[in-house]
Amino acid sequence: MERRTLLKALGLAAFAGTAAGRAVAAPPANMKGIEELQKNWKTFLPAGANVPSPAEPVKLSKDEWKKKLPAESFHVMREEGTERAGTSALNNEKRAGIFACAGCGLPLFTSEMKFESGTGWPSFFTTIPGVFETKKDHYLIYPRVEYHCIRCGGHHGHLFDDGPPPTGHRYCNNGVALKFIPKDAKA
């Protein structure tokens, strides 16, 4: 075994052990049932907000995406990169509202779906139904589930099974792939 491969494997094993032993904060106490939370997501939108449909695909060329997105968002969303942990202002976002795709504006999560995971990335225990497609990612040797916006194909992050009840899921999202729309914003 090459030294580099061995060091990667040891590093991943240490990281996995740390992540598995990490205490995960519980979802908000006022959380409704998952079905109700997913069904009533539009109540988190500003009054009169225009909501794009997941059935309206956004297809742009690489150059068009480069013009539309900031460089770091382009790297994450179009090249499946990862932003540095702890750098997103959305980690500390506590207001009521919607987290939408930075590429196409499709609503993905509500503020009640968010929880503090301690990972350094915005984390959610469920999603608005029908907004993501998933695929296996073998980039870090072991397989992970990667998720992409169903409307524009933008990479958002990875799905893990170490989240809080009731789902046990953690959608670990890159902050640069999201835009936050406060409920009290003018539409």
Instruction: Cite the active site residues.
Output: 172
Nearest Cα residue to 85 out of 169, 179, 173? 173
Token pair recorded at residue 108: 């993905």
Tell me, rounded to whole angstroms, the distance of Cα 142 from its chain centroid: 20
Whether the CB-CB separation of 144 and 132 falls below 8 Å is answered with no
